[in-house]
């Protein structure tokens, strides 16, 4: 019997996993440059944390959670998103009692029981960044800039930033009532009618064409913002202009998780079809209190690493000058050792270990292989040089170094080989 991964699990193996690493590293580097620190948090949490944090009526909580009882009968849930658990972790470790804002990021698998399709999985990977403890609109702009710069560093050019404000406890109820009034007059099915009463903003997110067609005249939140929310929204947009970050106002943008207020944003990519969202975030000024903490405004984003991998591949495929999957940069080696004859394995292993300790990427042939097979493996490895050691070289105290790009061969004294190679490769 052979096993397969459970349905909808996203996995990466070499060489494609190098693109995944590149994507994750671009976000990590951007976060580090903005002085965000790493947080490694629980993969499963008390189910109630998500019910209270993400929202009882959200799709994530009602339909998509992987919830199980542990052996002591506790109800636990695999994290369906990062923010609620991250805030729980910040509060539990008392970070909010130190310097504010608390600026942290984390990354890893998240789990949602969704209908799998391209770009939509049940186990997928997010990078998540949050700034907790300030209502300053400058930090809204900062989080957007961190994400923007990471997408740009990956060479992406065709992504967009969609921006909205969802108001706050003062102005949203007025908007909610106006929206409900409008929606009740439309021709909608029973489930959607129920949603109007429970969570009318969600109806704006309905993707069905027959529903979308009826939403064109629906009131928008930005027309109802109170003075404080309007000023905040204007400020964020001014700051984005200062940072040369273009955005599209998206007055109907709402998000799948209930905790958002004020600044709300999404990044999308046109080459990804139906699952075009490559990241999203916003403010959640009431979330800390929802999960039993003190008042603590916060903002952050989560990006979908799987979809960003797809976007990077799609743009590179369109761009003739770059490889489709340009991973060999990090997974290919620079030097490939070829032992010829029994005794040579020890010498080759010692040499490539020395090269690794000097910082080069080096690999070698394992097992018994003829010269032809070994040279084929050397070519496939992407290395610039093959190092051949056979009985003849050992007797003469030499190693033969073959330049795999042009075929040139050099016989170098064994003691000098590491220095010879390091000199030529250390900077590549």
Interface ranges with ligand AMP (CB under 6 A): 81, 112, 114, 119-121, 124, 126, 255-256, 277-280, 302-304, 306-307
What's the CA gap between 72 and 358, in Å, rounded?
51
The DSSP 8-state label assigned to residue 181 in this structure reads H
Closest CB 191 distance from ligand AMP, rounded Å:
21
Report, in Å, the least distance between residue 356 CB and ligand AMP: 36
Query: Per the omega criterion (within 30 degrees of 0), is the bond before 302 cis?
Result: no
> Which residue from 217, 215, 213 is spatially nearest to 195, judged by alpha carbons?
215
Q: Given its phi and psi angles, is residue 94 left (phi above 0), alpha (psi -120 to 50 degrees) or beta?
A: left
Question: Given the complex with ligand AMP, which of 30 and 381 has the nearer CB atom?
Answer: 30
Instruction: Rank residues 119 and 200 by Cβ distance to ligand AMP and give the closer one.
Output: 119
Cis peptide before 15 (omega within 30 of 0): yes
Distances (CA, A) of 54 to 3, 131, 263, 295, 304: 34, 18, 17, 17, 18
Q: Are strands 44-46 and 67-69 parallel, antiparallel or unpaired?
A: unpaired
Q: How far is CA 271 from CA 82, 145, 317, in A?
A: 26, 22, 11
Please state, in angstroms and rounded to a whole number, the distance separating the CA atoms of residues 204 and 227: 24
Per the document, the length of the chain is 428
Q: Give CA angle at 135 (171, 106), nearest 5°.
A: 115
Considering beta carbons, is residue 21 or 114 the nearer one to ligand AMP? 114
CB of 137 to ligand AMP, least distance (A): 21
Measured distance CA(333)–CA(15) in Å, rounded = 13
- Residue whose CB is less far from ligand AMP, 20 or 224: 20
Residue number closest to ligand AMP, CB atom: 304
Nearer CB in complex with ligand AMP: 49/303: 303
- Residue whose CB is less far from ligand AMP, 269 or 345: 269
Half-sphere exposure for 328 (CA within 13 Å, toward CB)? 12
Label residue 198 exposed, middle or buried (CB < 10 Å: 0-12, 13-18, 19+).
Answer: exposed
The residues, ordered by sequence, that sit 6+ positions from 86 with a Cβ below 8 Å of its Cβ are: 39, 41, 104, 106, 128, 130, 300
CB 261 within 8 A of CB 275: no
- In terms of Cα–Cα distance, which of 296, 255, 274 is closest to 81? 255
- Look up tokens 């009463």; give the residue: 197
Q: In whole angstroms, how close is the CB of 269 to ligand AMP at the nearest point?
A: 9
Among residues 120 and 361, whose Cβ is nearest to ligand AMP?
Answer: 120
What is the b/e burial string over 223-253, where b = at least 16 CB atoms within 10 angstroms of the residue's CB? ebbbeebeebbebbbebbeeeebebeebebb
Task: Please identify, using beta-carbon distances, which residue of 21 and 59 lies nearer to ligand AMP.
Answer: 59
């Amino acid at each position: 019997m052979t096993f397969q991964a459970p349905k909808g699990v996203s996995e990466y193996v070499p060489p494609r996993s190098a693109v995944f690493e590149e994507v994750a590293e671009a976000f990590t580097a951007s976060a580090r440059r903005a002085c965000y620190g790493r947080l490694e948090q629980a993969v499963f949490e008390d189910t109630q944390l998500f019910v209270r944090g993400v929202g009882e009526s959200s799709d994530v909580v009602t339909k998509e959670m992987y919830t199980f009882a542990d052996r002591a009968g506790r109800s636990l849930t695999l994290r369906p998103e990062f923010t609620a658990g991250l805030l729980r972790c910040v509060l539990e470790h008392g970070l909010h009692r130190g310097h504010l804002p608390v600026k942290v990021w984390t990354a890893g698998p998240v789990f949602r029981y969704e209908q799998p399709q391209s770009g939509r999985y049940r186990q997928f990977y997010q990078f998540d960044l949050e700034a907790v403890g300030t209502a300053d609109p400058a930090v809204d702009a900062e989080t957007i800039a961190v994400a923007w710069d990471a997408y740009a560093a990956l060479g992406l050019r065709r992504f967009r930033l969609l921006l909205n404000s969802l108001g706050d406890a003062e102005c949203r109820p007025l908007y909610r009532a106006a929206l409900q009034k409008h929606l009740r007059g439309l021709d909608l099915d029973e489930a959607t009618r129920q949603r109007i009463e429970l969570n009318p903003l969600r109806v704006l997110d309905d993707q069905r064409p027959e529903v979308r067609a009826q939403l064109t005249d629906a009131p928008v939140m930005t027309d109802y913002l109170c003075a404080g929310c309007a000023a905040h929204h204007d400020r964020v947009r001014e700051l984005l202009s200062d940072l040369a970050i273009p955005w599209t106002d998206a007055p109907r943008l709402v998000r799948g998780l209930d905790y958002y207020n004020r600044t709300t944003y999404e990044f999308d990519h046109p080459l990804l079809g139906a699952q075009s969202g490559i990241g999203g975030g916003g403010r959640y000024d009431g979330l800390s209190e929802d999960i039993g903490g003190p008042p603590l405004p916060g903002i952050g984003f989560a990006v979908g690493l799987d979809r960003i991998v797809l976007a990077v591949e799609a743009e590179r495929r369109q761009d003739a000058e770059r490889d489709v999957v340009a991973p060999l940069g990090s997974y290919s080696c620079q030097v490939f050792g070829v032992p010829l004859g029994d005794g040579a394995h020890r010498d080759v292993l010692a040499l490539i270990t020395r090269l690794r300790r000097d910082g080069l990427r080096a690999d070698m042939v394992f097992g018994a292989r003829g010269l032809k097979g070994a040279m084929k493996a050397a070519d496939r490895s992407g290395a610039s040089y093959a190092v051949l050691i056979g009985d003849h070289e050992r007797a003469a105290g030499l190693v033969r170094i073959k330049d795999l790009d042009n075929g040139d061969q050099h016989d170098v004294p064994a003691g000098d080989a590491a220095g010879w190679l390091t000199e030529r490769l250390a900077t590549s």
